[in-house]
Amino acid sequence: MLSLLSRTHTPSSSRHSPEDSPTEPTMPTIDHHISHQTRRRRIVVAMTGATGAILGIKALIALRRLNIETHLVMSKWAEATIKYETDYHPSNVKALADHVHNINDMAAPIASGSFKADGMIVVPCSMKTLAAIHSGFCDDLISRTADVMLKERRKLVLVARETPLSDIHLRNMLEVSRAGAIIFPPVPAYYIRAASVDDLVNQSVGRMLDLFDLDTGDFERWEGWQTEK
């Protein structure tokens, strides 16, 4: 036993020649400017059952063209409105987005403030969804994600579709605006002298995305009175 103990070395008593010493690993020098990976910008697009489904569709098309990563949430009534108002099928609209989340999936990544998103646009936004956002009653993924945008101080644009507006609608709009949201009624710009409804839609979508500092290039901007030559 004593002979065994005499041959046991503690770390402090171990002796190695310089050749035997293990080389300590060198920590690589990290250039944070080079190693930092820039991600694509991310925008959540929510579509509710309010009229104006083409606005949400055109927004998705524009964002896809601008190489923005999109996360789409669509309500049951949004799907019904798409089929009623447009020639698109909900499956075609979903194919325009990078990621599609079920409205009842409260465990989706976008439901958490830790998920990095650059903002959210609810287009079109029904008065029911507006009321849910105002009250903080997050019973589906659209209202929950909007709530996240407000608490994390991220951009939230609500393309409110209703007319005329009651006191209840106006109060809800005022309160969510005070909380940090932007209310964007898609009011047509008559000064562009649109040749079609499509021109008006493109102008509204372009102005919506201006709020995210994105230029669709799909509409004519106001440049002052043009004098005829």
The helix-helix angle for 76-85 and 53-65 (nearest 10°) equals 90
- Decide if 90 is inside a domain: yes
Binned at pLDDT 50, 70 and 90, residue 33 comes out as very low
The yes-or-no verdict on residue 182 having pLDDT over 70 is yes
* 48 assigned binding-site residue: no
163 known ligand binder:
no
Residue 117 lies in a domain: yes
Q: Quick: pLDDT tens for 91-108.
A: 999 999 999 999 999 999
Q: Is 88 annotated as a binding residue?
A: no
Block residue for tokens 């709009």: 173
Determine the pLDDT at residue 223.
86
128 is in an annotated binding site: yes
Q: What is the pLDDT of residue 34?
A: 42
5 inside domain: no
110 in Cβ contact with 142 (< 8 Å): no
Would you say 166 is a known binding-site residue? no
CA–CA separation, 59 and 40 (whole Å): 17
- The two three-digit tokens of residue 150, written as one number: 């407000």
Q: Domain with 55 in it: what CATH number? A: 3.40.50.1950
- Is 39 annotated for ligand binding? no
Q: Is 6 annotated as a binding residue?
A: no
Domain count, the chain: 1
- Domain span including residue 60: 42-164+176-212
What pLDDT was estimated at residue 220?
A: 85
The predicted-structure confidence for 60-83, as pLDDT tens digits, reads as follows 999 999 999 999 999 999 999 999
Whole-model pTM: value is 0.82
* Cα gap 134→12, rounded to integer Å: 67
Does the residue 23 lie in any domain? no
Residue 81 and residue 50: Cα distance in Å, rounded?
Answer: 7
Q: Is 224 within the bounds of a domain?
A: no
Q: Is 114 annotated as a binding residue?
A: no
Instruction: Report percent pLDDT > 90 for the chain.
Output: 76
Question: Is 51 annotated to bind ligand?
Answer: yes
Q: Are 188 and 204 in contact (CB under 8 A)?
A: yes
Is 135 within any annotated ligand binding site? no
> 1 lies in a domain?
no
Domain contains 126: yes
